[in-house]
Chain A
């Protein structure tokens, strides 16, 4: 079983729709990253958070430490949001301290 599970694996939406991508993890963490990988392969860090909520433009990331769950929301989605979104967590104790664990990614396609 992977330490980080993302859902859904694939997501298709119409332009303007509200998007939610979920990430659940099984290890204790000190930080969680959301990454975006464009069709060309480049990777961009969207958020790093350890509690609460962060917002950047149309993107919102939330985390619930007790439930070991994070969500990435995209409001008013646009075709340029089409990408793979990857969740990663940083372990916080014992053998996991400082290690990074990655989800397999969610492929988002937004149609005009």
Chain B
């Protein structure tokens, strides 16, 4: 299996632009997680899906952030409009079932908003 796939690996954009991050979970995994990691705050869970349904989005910082999972093999995290404080590494992870099972992390997307 190819593991969790994220794209792009690096993104540099200007403040105010829309940013879309993509994730393909491991085939057969029912849960997908979006994380953000910064030096200041460490690793934070933004949102997670079970069977394509958002279960906990309490970590989504504000309305500028939105996440979708239209099918079992694809998810997006969108930031519109982006701000410099959104600069971080965004990780996607998947697991067989829920937040109590082992998660497999993607390589991350390093986002820089100037």
Q: Give residues in A with beta carbon < 8 Å to B.
A: 30-31, 33, 35, 41-45, 48, 50, 86, 88, 90, 98-100, 102-105
Contacts and interface: CB of A to CB of B under 8 A. Distances in A.
A42 B98 CA distance: 21
Contacts of A30: 100
B42 A42 contact: no
Interface of B: 33, 42-45, 48, 55-56, 58, 89, 91, 93, 98-105, 107-108, 110
Contact of A104 (B42, B45, B103, B105): B42
Contacts of A42: 105, 107-108
Contacts of B104: 45
Contacts of B89: 41
A5 B44 CA distance: 14
A39 to B, nearest CB: 13
Given A98-B99, A102-B42, A102-B43, A45 B55 contact: no
A41 B99 CA distance: 21
A99 B105 contact: no
